[in-house]
Amino acid sequence: MIYNEAIGEINQLRNDRIRDFQEKQNKLYADIPRIKEIDWEISDISTRTAVELLFSGEEGAGERAREAIKSLRAERDAIMKERGIPLDFLQVDYGCKKCEDKGFLQDGSRCDCLKDLIRKKQYERSGLKDILERDNFDTFNLKLFSDKLSEGEVRSPRENMEEIKEIAQKFSKNVNGFKKNLFFYGETGLGKTFLSSCIVKEAIDNGYSVVYETIFRILETSEALKFNKPIRNPIDYQALFEADLLVIDDLGTETANSFTNSELFNIINSRIMSGKKMVISSNLEPSMISSKYSERISSRLISDFLLLKFYGKDLRRTL
């Protein structure tokens, strides 16, 4: 998973910087043996004093040690200044000064460097970096939706979309804590895919792991794995179950058969049972779901998802 990859990358960065420091330190010790002697003496004093305080509790031991170490450090600094060596030369040059390339702060929370790396990998993995820069809540324009009532509806498309957007924003900021999954349905060109992209970006920016795929790609990979078929650019199958958020686009466009029904139920049910959230978009009305899919799938979609209807005019004709 991306989280483990990011942790591994940060650990490798830390190890590389410590190795570079050790090589630099060894060279300095070879050039100026007295500095090595001083560092060893400082270490020895610290160790002996700690043991002495542990067993004897002598009050003056700590103060004597501090004075001795202070004197040794002053001698070392003087030698380095004389040789034109920066005083921070014998410090590890960590990439992140806040966490020293550990990825976590002292209170156990994630450092910004780890958050940024996870977010970067999420964008790369999604393959949607350019799309998400274009399609997000900041670029969401409610004025594209008509403020005139649609036939058979009690609210205008704009009012409807304003409410759906608000739900989507709350969902994407608190994916794990949101009570239900989201099911977007309606005809093509009404903003379902755009809003899905908005959720993906916001969720990634809030630190959630996200997988965004079309139903075709998901089932194509599932079939290839099950029947040992060759496939170009397969998706990460395990991530379908493990990611914090799975976004499935174009449900209903796939050919329905016993295999696709079984696989779709497996993914949806497994995620519901493990408490992991989903967003699914489809052209299918809820009334059509039961006729296309098994009762197990339709039951899950209707009971565990918040059904959000998109309606109005095709936005692609107004752009």
Rounded distance between C-alpha atoms, residue 123 and residue 179, angstroms: 26
Query: How large is the greatest C-alpha to C-alpha distance in the chain, in angstroms?
Result: 89
Task: Specify the fold of 127-317.
Answer: Rossmann fold (3.40.50)
- Provide the pLDDT for residue 58: 65
User: CA angle, corner 65, sides to 64 and 69, nearest 5?
Assistant: 120
203's tokens: 């969720």
Rounded distance between C-alpha atoms, residue 273 and residue 290, angstroms: 21
Note the pLDDT tens digit of each residue in 82-133: 999 998 888 999 999 999 999 999 999 889 999 889 888 888 776 777 777 7
Torsion sign, CA atoms 94, 95, 97, 103: negative
Rounded distance between C-alpha atoms, residue 171 and residue 66, angstroms: 55
- Provide the pLDDT for residue 59: 66
Q: Tens place of pLDDT for every residue, the chain, 319 residues?
A: 678 889 999 999 999 999 999 999 999 999 999 999 999 999 999 888 888 777 776 667 778 888 999 999 999 999 999 999 998 888 999 999 999 999 999 999 889 999 889 888 888 776 777 777 788 899 999 999 999 987 788 899 999 999 999 999 999 999 999 999 999 999 999 999 999 999 999 998 888 888 999 999 999 999 998 888 888 777 888 889 988 999 999 999 998 888 999 999 999 999 999 999 999 999 999 888 888 888 999 999 999 999 999 999 888 766 5
Note the pLDDT tens digit of each residue in 123-152: 877 677 777 778 889 999 999 999 998 778
- Provide the pLDDT for residue 128: 72
Bridge-partner residues for 309, per DSSP?
185
Domains of the chain by residue range: 8-90, 127-317
Tell me the pTM. Answer: 0.73
User: CA angle, corner 171, sides to 170 and 177, nearest 5?
Assistant: 105
Q: Which residues of 58-69 are buried (b: 16+ CB within 10 A; e: fewer)?
A: eeebeeebeeeb
